[in-house]
Structure 1
Amino acid sequence: MDYERAGVERKLQLQELENLRLEAYENSRLYKEKVKAVHDKNIKRREFQHGDLVLLYNSRMRLILGKLRSKWDGPYRVERVEPYGVFHMSHPSSSELIKVNGHRLKLFHGEK
């Protein structure tokens, strides 16, 4: 009677709620795909070869006072390139190799 109709209406409401939830998941997935595509389009690939001169970003510079000091050290010479953006570099004044992530590097446009 009235309880049966109320039970059927409640089941319909739960099914509608489930459909709304699934639609929200789908919209969220589409939004994330679009944002990732825009982000990936703006990423600049940094390709360095053996022998290139590069500058190294000093991330500790924000702790040191002096707003006009450069945050870039170098130039360093790229000695070895590994997959996934790992670079082995040497400073001209020392023979020691340091391993650095490619995101911390930029090409040096100075005298060779």
Structure 2
Amino acid sequence: MKHKAYWALKFLNFDEALSGEKRKSQLLELEEMRLNAYESSRLYKEKVKAYHNKKLLKKDFRPGQQVLLFNSRLKLFPGKLKSKWYGPFTIKEVKRYGAVELFDPQSETSNRTWIVNGQRLKLYHDGNIERLTTILQLQDP
């Protein structure tokens, strides 16, 4: 009986040197996996940034031009037919790095100006737009 207990303890008590080496190799593998994940994340972010920068259009605005402003914060009344472009506004000054200073020429009471990102603007082309209207007569069934 004593002999069996000895082998059971020998089996349960691992060799310290062997288990230490195994633990070190596991820690090194874990560190290598972490570094690989960090590197692939960095590469992915670089690719996504390059893709988005490629999609940005270079817009050249000049003072005096009329533009429409995209309202990206319009969440109150979502709908397909609601326009997200407001304006026209007039460009007062073009600043560095694509920032544009706008003012509203229709509000004569105040000379309020504000600065927006040039990517939120598009040129406004004057002119009358023919709108098609259709009148439907609804009848009760």
TM-score tier after normalising by the smaller chain length: 0.7 to 0.9
Match for 2:84 among 66, 71, 74?
71
Comparing 19-28 and 52-61, the one that deviates more: 52-61
**Superposition CA RMSD, Å:** 2.5
Q: Which has the higher contact order (CA 8 A, sep 6+)?
A: 1
Match of 2:54 in 1: 41
Match of 1:86 in 2: 99
CA displacement 1:6-51 (0-9 Å, x = unmatched): 1111111111111111111111111111111111111123321111
Cα 1:8/1:24, change in 2 over 3 Å? same
Where structure 1 has 5 or more consecutive residues not aligned to the other structure, the ranges are: none
- Rg comparison, structure with higher value: 2
Match for 1:24 among 24, 29, 37?
37
Higher helix share: 1
CA separation in 1, counterparts of 2:54 and 2:104?
33
- Equivalent residue letter for 2:27: L
Comparing 100-109 and 21-30, the one that deviates more: 100-109
| Residue 96 (structure 1) aligned with residue 131 (structure 2) | no
Where structure 2 has 5 or more consecutive residues not aligned to the other structure, the ranges are: 1-13, 128-141
Identity of aligned residues (%): 49
Higher strand share: 1
CA displacement 1:45-103 (0-9 Å, x = unmatched): 33211111101234565425775343322222211112233322233332614213123
- Equivalent residue letter for 1:39: H
The answer on whether the counterparts of 2:67 and 2:88 sit within 8 Å (CA) in structure 1 is: yes
Match for 1:110 among 101, 110, 126?
126
Scaled by the length of structure 1, the TM-score of the pair is 0.79
CA separation in 2, counterparts of 1:50 and 1:106?
14
